[in-house]
Structure 1
Amino acid sequence: MSTPIDATLWREAMGGFLTGVTVVTTTSGGKIAGTAVNAFSAVSQAPPLLLVCLDRASRSLEAIREAGFFAVNVLSEAHMDVVRRFASKSSDDRFRDVQYTTESTGAPVLSGSVAWFDCEVYAIHDGGDHEIVVGRVLQLGSDREAAPLAYHRGNIWCLTGRETEPAGRS
């Protein structure tokens, strides 16, 4: 039998992994919903699939289930002032002063994002206290000039500067 993992140590260790910062959005019942998510990954290129992990108690997860679609917005420096609002448990006024458009599904695509993915729900899987939502990408966009945000040990950083040569190339 394995020893139970200490929750505080778990959060500290996982916080050591540098991740991007995304906001997952949708609309359901005439209301917009969105939440910050750092558990985001590509799954497949053909068909184009990605995944996000959402807390089972998340109102955004409930809205995504009802709507059947969502958008993933990779946040940029332009979102530094609103990222904490999307990360908070309170959903009051998250979209205040946030510019967005919509694409084919109707989910909000945040203006100024580094990249965005407009998705239909492909599958939802059990993930312990979270659910793993797999989305089939219907449309996407990218802004190579936007500086991305990163999350590390409870802090949000803006990644700016010149690009370096990819590993393995000379």
Structure 2
Amino acid sequence: MRANADTRLAYARVELVPYRAEHVERYHAWMSDEHLLEATASERLSADEELAMQREWARDERKCTFIVRDAATHAMIGDCNLFFNDHDDDRACEIEIMIAERAFRRRGLARETLEAFTAYGACSLGVTTFVAKIGFGNDASNALFKSFGFVERSRSEVFEETTYAL
């Protein structure tokens, strides 16, 4: 998304920076992990496909992606995405948060990322409804989104996921 191309969001423990070509190698390494692929409902891509997708998403006004970095070390630890894919409501978006680096999980960084990203989406992009689709087995993400105030909207036995909205 061009709207966030030069945006850096700095918070106490995380900073969000636009997903750029220099991040693709590390991101691709994360997405070689079967657990992360399953938890994010993602497909395995080659490094070239990942780079092409990064370039496409940087131009796509319906996708907003940031890399999550640890504020203290500036280490790349995850990503977050907004997808404006609701054709009936252009102020609604699907939100995803991923802390890919195991050493940085269970430390409240996903929650701070969620706080930062929803604030950015609401204040800078005009989002009024955030939707999260979480796999039944992803206990940490289900707990995170519920504790943040997201409410269950539906459950899909076919996709084995719960849809939450805020």
TM-score, with length taken from structure 2: 0.26
Greater strand proportion: 1
- Structure having greater relative contact order (Cα 8 Å, sep ≥ 6): 1
- TM-score with structure 1 length normalisation? 0.25
Specify the structure having the higher radius of gyration (Cα). Answer: 1
User: Which protein has the bigger helix share?
Assistant: 2
